[in-house]
Structure 1
Amino acid sequence: YYSDSQYDPIDVDGEMFMLKPMNCPHHIQIYKSEMRSYRDLPLRLMEFGTVYRYEQSGELTGLTRVRGFTVDDAHLFVTPDQLLEEFIGVVKLIQYVFKSLGMTDFRARVGMRDPASDKYIGDPAIWEVATNAIIEACDRMGLDYFKEEGEAAFYGPKLDFIFRDVLKREWQLGTVQVDYSLPARFEMEYVGADNAKHQPIMIHRAPFGSLERFIGILIEHFNGEFPLWLAPVQVAILPVSNKVEAESQALAERLKNEGFRVEIFERGQLGKKIVEARGQKIPYLLVYGPRDVENGTVSVRLRDDTELPAMPIEQFINMDRQVVDEKGMEWVPA
C-alpha cells in the first residue's frame, strides 16, 4: 500500500534492507512477540519513529512536505469494551496539545471509506463498526466534526484535526484511527476472560503528525514570535558596555540556573544589539548597565519595543516563571 512512495530495497552484504514507510508493522511485531492476555490490555506502544517516503520532487515543500520525517507514533491495542475510553483519551491529548500552543482554529474530520474505491482492506461491515465507534466517541465528547468519504487510511477510518493557520491555510495535523483490518491481517490475538482467543482492536494515534510539518506550521503561525515558554532563546542580555561584562555573565548564569534559555549579546553598540535581538524575536531584552548592577535591577524591554519599569532581578525571575508555568501566550502575567 506504500509501493508508489516507498524507496527501493537496499542490498547490504547480501541482505535486503528497506527504509520503513510506516511504524505500524514493527509495533505489531512487538505485540506478537509473546501471547497476550486481556489483563495486558490496553497495551500502548509509542515511539518517535522516523519514516521515509519517496515524494515527487515537485511535491516537496520546506518542512511541510519532506521525504524523511519523524512521527510521534503510538499504537494502542485494546479490547472492544476499552475502545471508546481509549479513543476519547487520545482525542483529549490532541486537544491539550493544540490548546497549549494556542492553536484554537481547527476542525475535526471523520475520514470515511469511499465505497467506490478498491484501495481499502478489510470487510466493509467491520469498517462501518469502526466508523460508528469514532462517531460515538465524538458525540460523547460533544466534539464538532464533519464527515468526508475517501479520507480514511487504507486500513480503517480516522479522526483528523485540520488546523487553520494565520494565513487561513488548512493543514492536517493530529490524527487518531481505529483499525480492525491490520490485527486480522497479522493474525493478532489475546486470551480473553473466557480463556478463548480474540482479536484486539488497534488504535493509531499521532497528536503532532509529522514533527517536521508541525514545527514548520508552528513557525509560520507565530511568524517566529513564539510565546515565552516555547521560544528557543527566552532572554537576551544586552550589556550597555564592557564595564559590566562580568556582571552580565553572572546574571546569565543565574537565569540559566533558574531554568531559562539565555543569550548574551556582547558585540557592537547597544543600538545594534537591540536590533539584532529584536530581529531574532527574543521575548525579553534586558538592557544591563552599571546602575542596574548597583541597584540589583534589570531594565526590561519586550520584543515589540514595549519598555517595562526597572524591576528587581528576583521579580523578573518570578514573572518569567509564572508565564512559563502557565504556558501563556502573553509575555507578562495577566
Structure 2
Amino acid sequence: MKKVLYVTTVSRTVNAFLVPHIHMLLDEGYLVDLATSIDKPVDESLINRGVHVFNIPFARNPLHPGNLTAFKELIKIQNQKQYDIVHVHTPVASLFGRLLKLRDSHVKTIYTAHGYHFLKGGSNVGWMLYYPIEWMMAKLTDVTITINQEDYEITTKRLKPKKTYLMDGVGLDLSHYKVLSHEAICDKRQELGLHSDDFIIIMIAELNENKNQIQLLKAIERLKDKYSNIKALFVGEGLKLQELQQQATECGIQKHVQFLGFRTDITELINVSNIGVLLSYREGLPRNLMELMACGRQMIGTNIRGCRDIICDDTVGCLVEVGDDETLAHEIERLYLKNDSSFSLSPHLKKYEMASVLKELKMIYEGV
C-alpha cells in the first residue's frame, strides 16, 4: 500500500478544494494522511475513513521563524511514517514539504501550484522573493501540477521540474449547482431584503487585499445616483471586513451593499444575483467563477491569469484591468441595460467537472 502525506498551510484549503481528491486516492487503495495548521475542523468524512491529521504550526509568512518548528514536525512525521509520496499545496507548505526530499531522497514530491506569487506584469517583490524559492524547490519536485496556462508555461520554460502537468483546476461537482425557479429566487431575495427589480452583483471571495473588493465599491459609487437599484453581495470572511464597511460608508453606498460573511447557500445566492465579479490581483484558476458559470451567470473578471482561462469569450463575460473602477462601472452598466445576463452553459465547463479532474489526478499518481 502506497502511503501519501497531503501538506497544506491551513486546513480550510483541504475542506474547500481537496476532500474529493483524498477520497479518490483512498478508493484507489492509497493510505492518506494530512499535515496542516488546523484553522477549521477537517472534513469529518476524511476522519471517518481513517485519515490522520497532524496539526503543524505553519505560519503564512514563509520567513516566519515558527515555520522552522513546523519543518521539524514534518521531519519527525516522515521519519515515523515513511510516506512514499508527499503532495504539497499552498506556498509555505509547498516549501517545507518539498524540503523533506533533502532528508529522504526516496520520497516522491508532487506540488499543486494554485497560482504562483509571481506572474507576468506582477510586482518586483513577488519575483524577487518567490521566484528564486520556486526555482530552487523545482529541483526537489518530481511532479508539478499547474492549473492555468500561464503558470504551466512558466513552469516548463523556467522552473523545469522533472514533470509538469496542466490540470483543469481542482474540480467542480456540477450536481451542487442548479438554476432555481422564479418563485424560489423571489423568496430568497425577500429573505435577503432585496427587491424584485434590484440588479444584484455577487462577489464570492475572502475579504483580503488580493481579492480587491474595493474596486467594486468604487464602481458602485460611480453608479449609485444613476441606478439606485444596483446592489452588491459580498460573500466571504476576512480581516478587511471593517475597512471595507468603512469604505462603503465613506462612498455613501452602505445601502447598496451587504457583507454576508461565510455562507453555505452559495447556489441560492448566485441565483438571486444577476452577474458575478472577481477582481483579484492574483489567481490560480478561480473556482468561484466556475460556480457562476455553472449557475448560468455572466461575470466580470480582472485581466489576469486564471480569470483569462475561464472568461475566454464574451458569451461568458468580460475582463477589466485591476484597479480600473471606471471601466468596471461601464461594464456593469452595460449588463444592467442589456437586462439579460444569463447564458447557456459553455461546452468547456465540462472539463472543470470533478470527475474529469479526478481522472487526470489518478493518471498523474499512476505515473509517479
Q: TM-score, normalised by structure 2?
A: 0.21
Name whichever structure is richer in helix by fraction.
2
**Highest CA radius of gyration, 1 or 2?**
1
Name whichever structure is richer in strand by fraction.
1
Q: TM-score, normalised by structure 1?
A: 0.22
